[in-house]
Amino acid sequence: MEERLEGTEAEVLDGIVNDKGQDRLKVEEDIDLSRFIHRDGFMDVPNLESELITVEVRPPNGQSWIWIPGDPEWRRERVLILEIKAVQREFYLIADSISNLVDTGVGERILVAYQDRAKGYFLWPIRLTNARGDRDSWSLSAQQIITSYTDRWIRVKPSTTSYNAYTLPPDADNPVPVWPAGGFKVLLNKAFKGRVLTSANDPVIRRLLGYL
């Protein structure tokens, strides 16, 4: 038996620098989300735990069965993300203080953790509004999926205007996934290692502005 519903997409930016915009931070240091939100409402990220995992930032691929946890600990809202559309889409955290330097690709996203049946970890960067500031069918359907289709195995497929969710048959094997002991902070640090922008002098920003 299959159920259908609908969903959204994402955005981000690259590079890790310190407060003075000079030296890049060591990868062992944690990402402080308070610098990458448009307004208040985020917790700081504690120290990175050394777990041997990889984390991709992307929407579901439409083929894999995925599990989205219902616990709000496994998501963060209103994160400023820059999406660069190259051969493959690239996502970066971008600090609020420099987000106005880039005229396209920057916007607030919901970062939602999910896992596939191959035990791969992902962050789904769901756009809150489109380039005109409107809530489009992609973002509305994605937000509905992460609200109504949690704590079960689903397949999320894009249509021409939205995302659709399909559930496993009732008699299918339905193992509950295991999540990293360090929580969301571990996924965040792994996903955005080397992809955090805090300075106008970062090569990624300079390249987007035409200086490189």
In this prediction, what percent of the chain has a pLDDT beyond 70? 74
Average pLDDT, the chain: 79
Q: What angle do CA 76, 36, 38 make, to 5 degrees?
A: 85
Q: What is the pLDDT of residue 40?
A: 39
Say which DSSP state 202 is in: S
Say which DSSP state 156 is in: E
In the block, residue with structure tokens 């880039």: 102
Pick the range with the lowest mean pLDDT from 63-67, 130-134, 195-199.
130-134
114 vs 212, residue with greater confidence? 114
SS3 content of the chain, % helix, strand, coil (to 5): 20, 25, 55
Q: How many residues does the chain have?
A: 212
Q: How sure is the predictor about 68, in pLDDT bands with cuts at 50, 70 and 90?
A: very high
Instruction: Note whether 109 and 127 are within 8 A (CB).
Output: yes
Quote the tokens at residue 156.
């999320």
Separation of alpha carbons 66 and 116, rounded Å = 4
Q: What is the pLDDT of residue 43?
A: 37
pLDDT digits (tens, 9 = 90+) for 44-65: 444 444 457 899 999 999 999 9
